[in-house]
Amino acid sequence: MQRRSSILAFGRFLGGFVLFLTAGLAVTAPAAAQAHEVQATIDVTQTGAPISKYMYGQFLEHGGDIVNNGVWSELLVDRKFFYPVTSQAPVPPPVLSNAAGNPRMRRVPTRWWSPVGAASVVTMDAHAPYTGEHSPLVQLDRHEPHGLQQSGIVVRRGKAYTGRVVLAGSAGAVVRVTLLWGQQARDQQTIVLRGLGATYRKYPLHFTAGADTDDARLEITGTGAGSFHVGAVSLMPADNVEGFRPEVVAALKQMRFGVLRFPGGNFVSSYEWRDAVGDIDRRPPIFDPVWHAVQPNDVGTDEFLTLCRLLGVDPYITVNAGFGDAWSARELVEYTNGAATTPMGQWRARNGHPAPYHVKLWGVGNEPWGDYQMGAMSLPQFELKHTLFAKAMRKVDPSIKLIAGGAMPDVMEGADQARRINGQYIPDYLSAADWTGQMLLNCLDTIDMVSEHYYASGTMHTDIKLQKKVPIVPPLSLIEWERAPAVQVRAKYEHYQEYLKRIPALRAKPVPIAIDEWAYFGGGPNSYKTVPAYAWAFHEMFRHSDVFQLGAFTFATAMISSNHTEATLNPTGLLFKMYRDHFGTIPVAVRGNSPQPKPVFPAGGDQPAVNPGSDTYPVDVSAALSDDHKTLSIAVLNPSESPQSIRLAVQGATLASAGKLWRMAPNAIDATVQVGKPPEVQVEEQTLGSLPEVLTVRPFSVNIYSYPIP
C-alpha cells in the first residue's frame, strides 16, 4: 500500500470512505451532450484472451480489525490479554518511525478488560504464561467476587453464544463466568466452574441472551481461597461457520469472485506465519507495528484457507519478504502444499488438516519498493532476495505461480519513491527507479505474474512541471471523475507496452499483470457513486485481457454493508456480482464512430497518452462471448448525468429474438445500500425482445444486455 500516494494509508485503513468528499462537486458539472448519433459495431469474429475469473478477486489484510471484526465471529477484544487488566484504557506501544502508518494512527483501545474488585486483585503474571507475555492472576476472597470483565458485547434476544475459558488455579477456587445483558438480576446467565488445578484446562461456555443489547458484559470472577489464572477466553455466536460470520460469508459467497489475497498488504512485512497456526488459544497475541494494532493471530493460514473453501474461491498467499526470509517462505509452502510425510505437512496434519491445500498463487512480498515497508532494501538487493525466495519456494512445489512485487513509473511517481532512488519524479523506463522494469529485466525466469497496485483519485493529479500531486481545480466533470480508475488501468497498459519494446525476453515469455490492490475512494459509505467508475475499470481490463489477468479489490469487506449481526452486498458488491454472473468471458471487438476525448492532463507517470474507453463517447461499451460462444453479452456504461443513446450493430453472429437486460440505474448517484434500511440501489432484471437498433440508457447507469446465439 502506497504510503505517499494521494490516498493516505490511514484513509485506506478506514476504508477510504470519508476521503475527498469535495469530489461530489463534480456531479454539478455540465453533462456531455450527444452532438451526433453514436454508433457501435460488435464484431464477434475478433476475440481476445479469456477474461479470468480472478479479475473479480478480492483482498483481505490484517489491518487493525478488518479481518477480526469484518469476517471473524469473535465478540471479545484482546481475548488473550496482550494488554494488562486495568481500570483505564491501556496505552499502546509507540508507533515506529518507518511504519506504514503515522502518529495519527496511534489508537487507544476502546474496549478492554477491567478488574472486578479492587485494582490490586488482578496482576499480570509473566511466569509461565498460557500464551503471550503474561496471563491475568486473580487473588481470591472467600466472600467478595474478584476477577475481570469486558463490556460492549453485542448480543440478541434468544440467540445462543458459545465459547470457552482457559483456567488454572487453586483447588478451592470457585469461578463464575457470567453474561449480563441488563441491570436486573434476571438479566444474566452464569456458569459455575470448580475443580481447577495447576495445569491450564479449557472449559466450554454456552449462553442464551435474554434481550437485545450492544453493551452486554462478560464477567469472569471467583471466590474461595488462593488464586486463579485466566489463559484465554472466547465468545462467539453459536451459528458461526467454522469461526466466521455466517451473514458475511453468505453475502460474499454470492459474488463468486474467483480469488482472495491474504494476509497483506503492508501487514505481511512483519508477519510471522508460524504464530498463527496450531491451537488457536495458544497462539500468541502480537502488536502489529505496521497498522499499530493488537493481532490475536486467530485468523491464520488454516483459517484463511477454510474461508476460501467456504466462499468457493482460490487462495492467493503473500509471503513476508520484508523482515521474512526464504526459509520461512519455503516452510509456509510446505505447510500448505506438502504431503503429510513432510515436516511441515506433519505439523499441518497435527493441526487437523491432513490433506494438502494445493495453493497455487503466491506473492513474494508486498510493495517491496516502498521505503516504509518493514525490511525495505535497495532494488538490487531485493532482486537477489526475490530470486532466493523463488528458488526455495519452487523447490517445495514447482507448480506454484509466483507473483513479484512491482511498481511501474505511475506507482514510483505517485508514491514519491523514484525521487529518493535516482532523483527523478517520474522514472525513465528501466532506470534504477523503475522497479517493475528492473524486476522484469533481471528476474524474469522467477516471475509468473507481476503485482501492481493503484488507488485512484478524482480530486488530485500529477503536475509534471511542479513534480508533485496537486488538487484538481476546477473539479472534474462527472464523466471524467468516473473515468479516473480506468485511467490508472490504461496507464499501466501503456507502461507494459513500453516494457515489451525494451525487454526482448518479455516478448518471448509474457508476464501478465495482477492488480492485486485497487480501489477508488470518495463515493461515501456504501454509495453507488463509484460503481460506474469500477465498471469502466473492468472494461479497460477486459479490453486488454492478455495483460490483466488478476485483480484483488481493497478490501473484500468493502463489498458489503454490515453491522454486528447483519450483512448485505452494497452497490459495489452488487456490481461485481452482476458482471461475474452475466458478463461473458471471451472479449470481442467493439468499434465506434465517436472517439473518447484526449486526456485532461499531460501524459507521464500515472497519466496515459490515450484515454480509456471505446470509440463510443460519451458511453463506454464492452462485449464478450460466453465460454461456449453461445451467448453474447454487451455492457453499456453511461458515466454522464444525462440519458444517452447509441446505435448498435452486431457482426459475425445472429442473435436470438429474445434476451435479457441487467441494469444498475438508481435515481440518485449517491444512492446507498445499507443494512436495516430499504435499498436505494438494486440490479434490475428485464426480459427483452430483439436487441434494439438504438439503445437509450439512463444517467450514470451500468447495463448488461445478454442474447443467445442460436
- The domain ranges of the chain are 9-73+241-592, 103-237
Single out the residue of 4, 29, 9 nearest to residue 519, CA to CA: 9
Burial of residue 28 (CB within 10 Å: 0-12, 13-18, 19+) is exposed
Burial of residue 35 (CB within 10 Å: 0-12, 13-18, 19+) is exposed
What's the pLDDT score for residue 27? Answer: 33
Q: Calculate Rg over the CA atoms of the chain.
A: 27
Instruction: Round to whole Å and give the CA distance between 596 and 380.
Output: 41
Angle at 382 between CA 376 and CA 388, to 5 degrees: 125
- Which phi and psi (to 5°) does residue 54 adopt? -70, -15
Report residue 184 CA to chain centroid gap: 43
- Which phi and psi (to 5°) does residue 488 adopt? -65, -35
Single out the residue of 338, 335, 329 nearest to residue 363, CA to CA: 329
E runs forming strands in 126-265: 135-139, 146-155, 160-169, 174-180, 188-193, 201-208, 213-223, 227-237, 259-262
Beta bridge partners of 188: 180
How far CA 139 is from CA of 80, 185, 194, in Å, comes to 19, 25, 16
Single out the residue of 131, 185, 189 nearest to residue 163, CA to CA: 189
Nine cell digits for residue 501: 519494446
Instruction: Give the CB-side neighbour count of residue 707, counting CA atoms within 13 A.
Output: 20
Asked if 593 and 39 touch (Cβ cutoff 8 Å), the reply is yes
Helix, strand, coil share (%) of the chain residues, nearest 5 = 25, 30, 45
Task: Collect the ranges in the chain with pLDDT lower than 50.
Answer: 1-31, 98-101, 103-104
Cβ within 8 Å of residue 442, ≥6 positions away: 383
Instruction: Round to whole Å and give the CA distance between 608 and 492.
Output: 8
Asked if 366 and 411 touch (Cβ cutoff 8 Å), the reply is no
Alpha helix locations (H) across 445-604?
478-502, 504-508, 531-543, 571-582
What's the pLDDT score for residue 595? Answer: 97
What's the pLDDT score for residue 619? Answer: 98
What's the pLDDT score for residue 25? Answer: 31
pTM above 0.95, yes or no: no
Instruction: Provide the phi-psi class of 278: left if phi over 0, else alpha when psi is between -120 and 50, else beta.
Output: left
Q: What is the DSSP letter of 689?
A: S
Instruction: Round to whole Å and give the CA distance between 710 and 707.
Output: 9
Residue with cell 497462539: 283
Q: Look up the CATH architecture of domain 9-73+241-592.
A: Alpha-Beta Barrel (3.20)
What's the pLDDT score for residue 35? Answer: 62
Q: Look up the CATH architecture of domain 103-237.
A: Sandwich (2.60)
Nine cell digits for residue 410: 505511475
Cβ within 8 Å of residue 156, ≥6 positions away: 209, 212, 565
What's the pLDDT score for residue 667? Answer: 96
What's the pLDDT score for residue 613? Answer: 97
Residue with cell 513479484: 404
Residue with cell 486463579: 228
Single out the residue of 405, 259, 393, 256 nearest to residue 335, CA to CA: 393
* Torsion angle defined by CA atoms of residues 76, 79, 85 and 91, in that order, rounded to the nearest 10 degrees: -90
Asked if 281 and 234 touch (Cβ cutoff 8 Å), the reply is yes
Amino acid type, 422? N
Asked if 462 and 606 touch (Cβ cutoff 8 Å), the reply is yes
